Structure 1
Amino acid sequence: MKTIHTLIFLVFIGLFTETSIAQQLYFPERGNWNEKSPTEFNIDSAKLNEAVEYAKDQEYSGSSDLRQAILKGFEGEPYHKILGPTKKRGAPAGLILKDGYIIAKWGDIDRVDMTFSVTKSYLSTIAGLALDNKLISSADDFAYNYIWDNTYDGNHNKKITWRHLLTQSSDWSGQLWGGYDWADRPPKTGDIDDWKFRKLQEPGSVFEYNDVRVNVLSYSLLNIWRKPLPQILKEKIMDPIGGSTTWRWYGYDNSWVTIDGIQMQSVSGGGHSGGGLFINTKDHARFGLLFMNNGKWNNKQLISENWITEATKSSKANSNYGFMWWLNQKGSRHWEGLPEHLFYAAGFGGNFIVVDQKQNIVIVTRWLEPNKIDEFVTKIYDSF
């Protein structure tokens, strides 16, 4: 009897402790966000301010006219064109959250700006929701079993699974919205014929950052949901976490399709050719906070914890890449001296959402010189 009482007591204490930890997290309501001094978390305010000043001083060196920055950044790609909207960017901006509270901020955090490949982490979340809702049975299902048009025709493309698309290891071959897979970030050697008639890699074996293939994933998910992906994001993620009404997700002028008799735009996974997610810093921080808390906002599970685990796990083709989230594992993108459990979304021009689930930290920074991100994050962690 004494043993039973002891077990009940331990279970009660465990539940109480778990509840207490959960209650420490703060989830801001729409239009409101509480702030706390870093000192309330034993964080050195002076050192944290040094990190903030560093982010403000290390502004992205590219043009503030992002149309020009895109054209210059991808001038080595044959046939590259701007197909979607662009927007002039603002000055550096950012937020640092601890337990959900804002402990530091800089710049115009309400300004809506392009966010480029950070969009990919939002896109992969739409895939996670499709799995949670049983629209896709498994990430290892072949995509052609779901998309029956010519998107996955051919012996090679028929081997591609959802996992391969999410980990950018599909080597999908084809053309979409006027963009050819081989023309997106081509090798620095060879010429067009070499790129067009290359040997295709076995799906899942080689990582290659490629926006045409990301857009194939977006198009495929549009067919699965039969509804514009921005509406899915709004209804299932952004509205429940109190996101603003100002964010927009665009595709290209020519990326319209008819589904169920309704014209819908297939959105892009980044701003490589314009388009992608246009969003403010605070909305990014809400999204990061959701992932920091394993897909739960307050007491509501918006996306499964299992998906968060899978999305932030190293892929076979790249130890630093999961389901469109970058990981701070050992590898070519490892940030030395920083925790290996960190994961982050990253986009052209120095846009980042960094998530630390163990210390309940979310860092959002906009327009930071990209090669300064690890030094910036190191300065933040030096303040703890």
Structure 2
Amino acid sequence: MNIKIKRIILGVCTIILILVIYLLIPQVSNPTPNYETALTYGIPVSEKINNILTPTIKPKRTRAIMVMQNEKVIYEYGPTDKIMNGHSTRKAMLSLLYGIAVDQELINLDKTLAQLEVDEFIPLTTQEKSATIRDLLMGKSGVYLPASGEHDNQITQRPKRESHKPGTYFFNNNFDANVLGTIFMKETGISIGKFMEDNLAKPLGLQDFDSNNVIIGSPWFIPKKKTMHKQYYIYISTRDFARIGAMVANNGKWNGKQIISEDWITKSTSSYSDLTTNHINYGRYDGFGYQWWTASDTNTIWTDGYGERFMIINRNKNLTLVEQNFTGNSLLSSGFWLINKNMDSGLLNLMKAHETITSTNYNNSYNSN
């Protein structure tokens, strides 16, 4: 073999090695913040509920589950400290950040897209620009344009442009969610990650978070939609996710301190849409607040994300149930998951556990704490 061929082979091998290393680099890594505080563990759930929640067959992918009541962990399964992509649960978390920013008088929810000088590569119309931040939070912007990260009925059932005026019709629209990210950073002058770390992670004592856990712009190696409004991704561990939910369940308080005003928690988790009259079937949800789903039959608040991740909050019972499934961190692991699309889920068990815990005949000593 001559020297020229050897150099070509060496060059190709080097390129392949660099590519493999690049594909293996994690989007985020598990930090150990100096502000972290350990969670408190209460009396575990009954054996009956433990049997409901614990998978009888090993899940096909990494799953973590946590249940908290009165700020205490009462059930835990899997690697709850593992950082995972929260997918659409990012929307409810951003809603919480909006509450803090509103209380700090950094954001006025009644500002319109026109006043905020928000536009898109496909120019917005005068009607579309009349939408307010509040309309976007409610999923009622009336702007129906392609957006990063959308899928399923967000694409196939998107209404025609200007078919509904802002504030009049709910549509689960990634345009609204992504623009909320753009507006938040513009109005506060702070990145979502930094604001979340300073105003949520530190006061709560999150154990696996720092500002780099929030990525602006798609981490996927697939063609991206041309848009002015990048999708933001929040990578979070299950135990941190559950702690945030427990704070919401406790009316915005954590460890005796008001992290987010009770007024915002109430407003943001109240429904402003009757989804039973909507021509799109939203399954178990019949209402929508400020980026939170609601289910009146169980008196619960929800956020969920692609890849089977769920949070169920019952404020009356100060109860939070969370499940997350790992959908990849590096480009390679994310790509393998996208190809496989394994939607293994314990949601039905999570719902059954909630029903059992909140039933009148369920007696466990932690309920009286």
State the Cα deviation string for residues 295-318 of structure 1 (Å, max 9, x = none). 122232221111101111111364
Find the partner of 1:307 among 260, 264, 268.
264
Aligned to 2:302: 344
Instruction: Summarize deviations over 1:161-219 as a string: whole Å, max 9, x none.
Output: 1121011121225566xx5999983226xxxxxx7965531112222222233111110
Aligned to 1:49: 50
Distance 1:170 1:149 in 2: 13
Residue 148 of structure 1, aligned match among 114, 117, 132? 117
- Matching residue's letter, 1:373: L
Asked whether the equivalents of residues 128 and 303 of structure 1 are also in contact (C-alpha less than 8 Å), the reply is yes
3-state SS, counterpart of residue 208 of structure 1 = coil
Q: Structure 2: how far apart are the matches of 1:186 and 1:140?
A: 28
Q: How does 1:176-191 map to 2 (within 5 A)?
A: 179=148, 185-187=154-156
**Taking structure 1 as reference, are residues 379 and 156 closer, same or farther at Cα in structure 2, changes over 3 Å only?**
same
Mapped contact 1:94–1:366 kept (Cα < 8 A): yes
Deviates more, 1:115-124 or 1:163-172: 163-172
Asked whether the equivalents of residues 146 and 155 of structure 2 are also in contact (C-alpha less than 8 Å), the reply is no
Contact 1:205–1:316 (8 Å) recurs in 2: no
Matched, 1:250 2:220: no
Question: Which 5+ residue runs of structure 2 have no aligned equivalent?
Answer: 1-34, 220-227, 276-285, 327-342, 363-369
Distance 1:184 1:53, change over 3 A: closer
Distance 1:130 1:210 in 2: 23
* 294-303 vs 217-226, greater mean Cα deviation: 294-303
Correspondent of 2:245 among 288, 293, 296:
288
CA contact (8 A) 2:36 2:207 kept: yes
Residue 144 of structure 1: how far off its partner (Å): 2.6
SS in 1 for 2:166: coil
- 1:382 is matched with 356
Question: Unpaired segments of 5 or more residues in structure 1?
Answer: 1-28, 62-89, 189-194, 255-264, 270-275, 331-338
Q: Aligned AA for 2:156?
A: P
For the structure 1 residues 267 and 124, does the alpha-carbon distance in structure 2 shift closer, same or farther, using more than 3 Å as the test? Answer: farther
Equivalent residue for 2:70? 99
Say which of 220, 234, 237 aligns to 2:197.
234
Q: How does 1:1-384 map to 2 (within 5 A)?
A: 30-38=36-44, 45-54=46-55, 57=57, 59=59, 91-137=62-108, 139-145=109-115, 147-150=116-119, 153-174=124-145, 179=148, 185-187=154-156, 198-246=161-209, 248-252=213-217, 268-269=231-232, 276-316=233-273, 318=275, 319-329=286-296, 339-340=298-299, 342-367=300-325, 373-383=347-357, 384=362
Structure 1 position 141, deviation (Å): 3.7
Q: Please report the TM-score for the alignment, with normalisation by the length of structure 2.
A: 0.69
TM normalised by structure 1 equals: 0.66
1:125 CA displacement:
1.4
**Within 2, Cα distance between the matches of 1:53 and 1:196?**
41
Separation in structure 2 between the aligned mates of residue 234 and residue 359 of structure 1, nearest angstrom: 28
Q: Structure 1, residues 260-312: CA drift from partner, whole Å, max 9, x if none?
A: xxxxx97635xxxxxx1111111101111111111122232221111101111
Looking at structure 2, the residues matched to 197 and 360 of structure 1 have their Cα atoms a distance apart, in angstroms, of 41
1:246 is displaced (CA, Å) by: 3.8
Taking the aligned partners of 1:233 and 1:201, their CA distance within structure 2 comes to: 33
Q: How far apart are 1:230 and its partner, in Å?
A: 0.9
CA contact (8 A) 1:229 1:267 kept: no
Q: Structure 2 CA distance, aligned partners of 1:252 and 1:325?
A: 22
Query: 1:345: Cα distance to partner?
Result: 1.3
Shift of residue 377 of structure 1? 1.8
Identity, % of aligned positions: 22
- Does structure 2 retain, via aligned residues, the 8 Å contact 1:182–1:196? no
Quote the offset at 1:158 in angstroms.
2.2
Seen in structure 2, the aligned counterparts of structure 1 residues 208 and 129 have a Cα distance that, compared at 3 Å, is same
User: Using the alignment, how far apart are the partners of 1:360 and 1:370 within structure 2?
Assistant: 28
| CA offsets 1:91-147 (integer angstroms, 9 cap, x no match) | 11111112222111111111111111111111111221221111233x3442432x1
Shift of 1:351: 0.8
Cα pair distance change 1:183/1:287, threshold 3 Å:
closer
| SS of equivalent residue, structure 1 residue 240 | helix
Q: Within 1, Cα distance between the matches of 2:350 and 2:87? A: 20
| CA RMSD after TM alignment | 3.1
